[in-house]
Amino acid sequence: AKAETMLRWSDGQPNRGVNSETLQWMASELEKRSNGDLGVEFHWGGALFKSKSAVKGVGTRSADIATIIAAYTPKELVAYSVGDIPLPNSDVWVGMRAMYELATTHPALKKMFDDLNLVYLTNLSTSAIEILCKDKFINTLDDLKGVKMRAVGPYGRIFKDLGADVARLSQAKVYNALDSGIVECNQNYMYSIEVFKQNDVAKKLTKLDWGQHLAFGVVMNKETYEGLSDANRQVLQEVSSDFIDQFARRIQEANIKALERMTSGDSPLEVAEMDPNEKAKLEKMGFDTVPNWIERANDAGLPGQDIFDSYMALVAKYEKIRDEKGYPWNN
C-alpha cells in the first residue's frame, strides 16, 4: 500500500555506511509507527541537489527532508555550528543529546531554523577524531610540525597552527594520497578509516579521541511539517529523538568493531595514544578558538556567549546522566 504522505528525502552521501543505515532505520520506524501514513522516498548521493544546497533545498521544499552540514552554509547555520567548535567532547551520545536539546529549546536556534523555513528533526555526528599516519605516531604536538596531513574544518586549522602541512582532499582520495606520499597523515574517524580502506596503506593510528563534528542535522520543510496530522507530528518527534540513541549506539559499535578488525589479521594496525600532557595542550588550543566563534555568532546578531554556555551546560547535563544511568541502550 502506498503511504498517505510520501516524504522526499535528499542526502548528499551514497547509500552505504552507518549514516545511511540509521537514516533508513528512521524511515522504516516512521512508516511503522504511523501505521503506514508516513512513507519516505530517498534520493541518495546528491542526485536531487548537492549537500551545499540542503538548507535552501528543504526551505523551498525541493525535498521535504535533508541532511544539513553547517560547514557548507556557515553563515546561515552559524548558531548551530557551535557543535563544530573543537572541544574535548568526544562521547557521541552526550554530544548528540546536547545538540538536540540545544536546537529544540534555545530560542536563538529555534528562530534560526524557523527563519530558514525549517523544522529541526535530529542530528548526526562524525564520532571522535583520530589521526592515522603512514609511519609515525603523534605522541607530542611537536610531532605535527611539518607533517603533510589531510585535515578539515576547525580541527584542521588547529593542526595547521601547530605546523602541520595541511592538504585538503576528499576522504575518498586519501587512500591514494597516503599511498603515494602526498600526505603522511589523515584526520579521520575510526569506522571511516576502515570504510575507505586507509588501514591498508597507513599502519600507525594515534587514538586521539578528541572532539567530534556535531554540526550535522536532519531538517524538515516547515509547510510539510505543518501539513501533518497531530498524531503523525508526534510520531515524527518520537522517532527523531529515538534516532539519536540508535545512531550513537550503532556508530560506537561500528567504531569498536572496526578497531578490532583493523588491529587483528595479517598486517595489523598499531595503536598509540597521545601523551596526556600534550593532549591537554591540544585541548586548550581548542578552547582558545571559542572567542572566535562567539565573535562570529555576535556578528550575525546572535547571543554567542549564551548559546555557547547553554551548550556546555547541556554537555555537562548529559555526561552526568550517562555517568549515573549509563547509555539508554544498556538499560
CA 110 to chain centre: 20
Give the nearer residue to other proteins in terms of CB position, either 10 or 246.
10
User: Residues 5, 20, 24, 62: which binds other proteins (CB under 8 A)?
Assistant: 62
Residue 313 as a binder of other proteins (CB under 8 A): the answer is no
Task: List for the chain the helix, strand, coil content (%; round to 5).
Answer: 55, 15, 30
| CA-to-CA dists, residue 108 to 78, 290, 304, angstroms | 11, 18, 9
Which of these segments, 47-55, 105-113, 123-131, 263-271, binds other proteins (CB under 8 A)? Answer: 47-55
Interface with other proteins: number of residues (CB under 8 A):
42
Candidates 19, 73, 212, 240: give the one binding other proteins (CB under 8 A). 73
Cell of 101: 536539546
One residue of 72, 209, 225, 275 binding other proteins per CB under 8 A = 72
For other proteins, the closer of residues 60 and 298 by Cβ is 60
- How far apart are alpha carbons 302 and 215 in whole angstroms? 17
- What residues between 25 and 44 interact with other proteins by CB under 8 A? 41, 43
Site for other proteins in 163-202 (CB under 8 A): 165-170, 172-173, 175-177, 179-182
**C-beta separation of 27 from 58 below 8 A:** no
Query: Interface with other proteins includes 222 (CB under 8 A)?
Result: no
245 sits near other proteins (criterion: CB under 8 A):
no
H helix or E strand, kind and range, residue 30: helix 18-33
- 52 is a site residue for other proteins (CB under 8 A): yes
CA nearest to 193, candidates 136, 249, 246, 259: 259
149, 183 in Cβ contact below 8 A? yes
The yes or no reply on residue 225 touching other proteins (CB under 8 A) is no
SS3 assignment, position 130: strand
Binding to other proteins (CB under 8 A) within 118-147 occurs at: 146
Contact between 76 and other proteins by CB under 8 A: the answer reads yes
| Grid coordinates belonging to 281 | 595542550
* Single-letter residue type at 153: G
| Binding map of other proteins across residues 258-297, x = CB under 8 A, - = no contact | --------------------------------------x-
47 binds other proteins (CB under 8 A): yes
Q: Is residue 319 classed as helix, strand or coil in its secondary structure?
A: helix
Question: 3-state SS of 250-267?
Answer: HHHHHHHHHHHHHHCCCC
Distance CA 216, CA 243 (A): 14
Give the residue, chosen from 34, 53, 192, 246, that forms a contact with other proteins under the rule CB under 8 A: 53
Instruction: Tell me which residues touch other proteins (CB under 8 A).
Output: 14, 41, 43, 45, 47-50, 52-53, 56-57, 60-62, 71-76, 146, 148, 153, 157, 165-170, 172-173, 175-177, 179-182, 296, 300
